[in-house]
Amino acid sequence: MLRDMTIGQYYPGKSLLHQLDPRVKLTGALVFVVSAFLFENWISFAIVTAFLGTCIILSRVPFRYMVKGLKPVVVILILTAVLNLLWTPGEILWQYRFLKITKQGVMNSGYMLVRLIYLVLGTSLMTLTTTPTRLTDGMETGLSWMKLFKVPVHEIAMTMSIALRFIPLLLEETDKIMKAQMARGADFETGNIFRRAKSMVPLLVPLFVSAWRRAGDLAMAMEARCYHGGEGRTKMKPLKYRKQDFCSYGVLSVYLVGLIVIKVIL
Amino acid sequence: MSLILNHVSYVYEPNTPLESRALTDVSLQIEQGEFVGIIGHTGSGKSTLIQHLNGLLKPTAGEIFFHGRDIYDGDFPLKELRSKVGLVFQYPEYQLFETTVFEDVCFGPKNLGLSENEAGLRAFEALEHVKIPKEMFYQSPFELSGGQKRRVAIAGVLAMKPEVLVLDEPTAGLDPKGRDQLLAELKRLNESMNMTIILVSHSMEDVANYVRRLVVMDEGRIAYDGTPKEVFFHYRELEKMGLMAPQVTYLMHELKERGLMVDENATTVEEAKEAILRAMTWRNRM
C-alpha cells in the first residue's frame, strides 16, 4: 500500500533524460514550473503540454507509472478546483443561494487544475529520472556560487540527500511495523477518525524510535569516517557537462523565451 | 487441523521494472503440533512465505487453506486467523510502543476483543512463559536489554494464544545463551501445549537440534522437505545454495572417509558422540 508512492522515487532507465546532467534537469524543472504559471491562453498551454509530453516520451517512464504519483495529491487537486470554481467573481453561469459558478471561475479552476497536475508531473519526472545522489550532487555543484554569501550549500545538500535516502527506508519500516501490529490484531482501516488516529499510536511510536535510532547510528558512522563537512572534500564522480547538456540548456532557453514572448504579444 | 499452501507464487511490484519473483509454486502442508524449520539463504523467499501464513500478503497465484478453508475467501475472518497464526517478525523488539511491558503484551489480546481482566491474565501467562521477572512488568519496554525486549515482543504474540506460532529469525542478534534459552522455550511450548511452531532461520546449527522437520528454500522454491537427517544428507547441494550443514555433519563424513565406520547421519553433537563411541568400541573389539 505504501509502496505505491512514486513522488521522489527513482525509476531505473537509460533514456536521454536519465543521462542528462542533474543540473540541467534541476534547471529544467524550475523553468517548467515557471512556465506552467505563465500560460494564460491556448497557444502557450499547447506549447507547455507539448514540452511536457515530449519529456515524458523521452524519459521512457511508463505514463501509467507517472499518473500513480498524482494519487496522494488528489485531495488537494479537487479542493483547489472546487474553491476556484465557486469563489471567482465574474459573469454568472449558475447560482444556488450563496453558491455561484462564473465563466471566469470555470476557466480559472480548469487552468489551476492543469497547472498543479503539470507541476507534480514535471517535478516527479525529474526525480524519476535522477537518482537522489545525483540530484543532490547537482544541487550542490549548481548552487556552489551561493557559498560566496555564506550559504552552507554543502550542508544543505547533505541534509537533503540524507532525508531523501531516509524516505524509502522509513516507508519500508512503516510497512514492516504495520504488518507486525496487524499480526497482533491491530486494525488501521476501519472506525471513525478518532479511532483511526488512536490506532496510529502503535505505528508512530516505534517509527519515531527507529528514526531516532537510525539517525544516531548514521551520525556515529559519519563521525567514525571523519566526516567534517564539505571543506576540501573531493568527489568520486565529479559532474561534467556534455554536448547533450548544452543542447538541453539551449532548448530550455528557447522554450522559456518563446513563452514569455507569446505572453507579452498576446 | 492443518495449514496448507497450494502452488503459491508471489511477485513483488508486478509490471514495474522493480518486479521480482519471491515465491514460485510453493506447496506445503503443516500439521498441528509440528515443529518445522524453514531454512534458506538471504533472499530465498522465507520471509515472504511466512507472511502468507496469516494473510498479510496475498499470493499472486495459488491458495492457502487453514483448517480446510481458503483464507482469501471473501468472508474468511482474517483477524481471527491472525490470532490463530501468531507471527513474530524479525527484530520484533522494534514494534514495542506502550508505556509498560505489561500494557504492550496486552495489546494483542485487547485487539481480539477480550476484557481488561482476561487480557491481563493472558499477558501475565505469556510473560511467565518467556521468563520475564515480575518486577519488570511495569517498566518501560524501552529500558530493557535487547534480549529482554525480544522476549517481551514474543510474549506479545503468545498472549493471543495462537495455535501456530511463526517466528522469523528469532535468534538473530542474541548471544549463544539467549539463543539456547529461547529455542528451548519454543520446544517446551511445542511439547507441552502442542503448539505448531514454524521457525525461520538461515543457520542450520540453530535449528538442527530442535526441529523435527526442515524445509529448505532456494530462490523462491522448496528445495528439500524432510527430517533434518534426510535434508543434511544432501549437504553438498546445500552448500551450493549458500547454506552450511551443521559442523557435526562435516565431521562425521570426514571420519567415515578416513575409515572410521560411523553413522554419518548424526545431526546433533549428542548423537555424534554416541555414534563415534559406538564405532570406537566396535573397532577396538576387532
List the domain boundaries for chain A.
1-130+240-266, 149-233
Mean pLDDT, rounded, of chain B: 88
Residue B239 lies in a domain: no
| Residue B130: closest CA among B146, B145, B148 | B148
B81, containing H or E segment: helix B78-84
Tell whether the model's pLDDT for residue B72 goes beyond 70. yes
- Which residue range is the domain that position B203 belongs to? 2-228
Tens digit of each residue's pLDDT (9 = 90 or more) over A43-76: 888 899 999 999 999 998 888 888 877 888 888 8
Does the CB of A221 have a partner CB in chain B at under 8 Å? Answer: no
Tens digit of each residue's pLDDT (9 = 90 or more) over B213-240: 999 999 999 999 999 888 888 888 888 8
Tell whether the model's pLDDT for residue B44 goes beyond 70. yes
Distance in angstroms (rounded) separating the CA atoms of residues B237 and B41: 13
- Closest residue of B to A188, CA-based? B111
Q: B94 and B200: one domain?
A: yes
Long-range contacts of B270-275 (CB under 8 A, 24+ apart): B272/B248
B270, containing H or E segment: helix B269-285
Tell me the chain B residues in contact with residue A183 when contact means C-beta distances shorter than 8 Å.
54, 56, 82, 86-89, 157
Distance in angstroms (rounded) separating the CA atoms of residues B268 and B274: 10
Instruction: Give the pairing of strands B85-88 and B196-201.
Output: unpaired
pLDDT at B205: 78
Q: Which of residues 91-120 of B touch A (CB under 8 A)?
A: 92, 94-97, 107-108, 111-112
Q: Which three cell numbers stand for residue A232?
A: 576540501
CATH number of the domain enclosing B11: 3.40.50.300
- Residue type for position A129: T
Tens digit of each residue's pLDDT (9 = 90 or more) over B235-265: 888 888 888 888 888 888 888 888 888 887 7
pLDDT at A65: 81
Tell whether the model's pLDDT for residue A8 goes beyond 70. no
Residue B234 lies in a domain: no
Q: B50 and B100: one domain?
A: yes
- Closest residue of A to B85, CA-based? A183
Q: Do B107 and A202 touch (CB under 8 A)?
A: yes
Indicate yes or no: pTM above 0.90: no
- Asked whether the beta carbons of B9 and B33 are under 8 A apart, the reply is no
Does the CB of A251 have a partner CB in chain B at under 8 Å? Answer: no
Residue B174 lies in a domain: yes
Distance in angstroms (rounded) separating the CA atoms of residues A249 and A26: 11
Tell whether the model's pLDDT for residue A2 goes beyond 60. no
Instruction: Give the pairing of strands B213-218 and B196-201.
Output: unpaired
- Asked whether the beta carbons of A38 and A44 are under 8 A apart, the reply is yes
B167, containing H or E segment: strand B164-168
Confidence category of residue A5, pLDDT binned at 50, 70, 90: low
Does the CB of B77 have a partner CB in chain A at under 8 Å? Answer: no
Q: Which three cell numbers stand for residue B81?
A: 486467523
Tell whether the model's pLDDT for residue A4 goes beyond 60. no
Cβ count near A83 (within 10 Å): 14
Q: Do A180 and B107 touch (CB under 8 A)?
A: no
Q: Do A180 and B89 touch (CB under 8 A)?
A: yes
Q: B263 and B196: one domain?
A: no
pLDDT at A1: 44
pLDDT at A180: 92
Q: Do B95 and A13 touch (CB under 8 A)?
A: no
Q: Could you give the number of structural domains in chain B?
A: 2
Max Cα-Cα span within chain A: 68
Q: B282 and B223: one domain?
A: no
- Closest residue of B to A185, CA-based? B111
Confidence category of residue B31, pLDDT binned at 50, 70, 90: very high
- Closest residue of B to A211, CA-based? B94
- Asked whether the beta carbons of A101 and A85 are under 8 A apart, the reply is yes
- Residue type for position B118: E
Residue B237 lies in a domain: no
DSSP B169-181: STTTT--HHHHHH
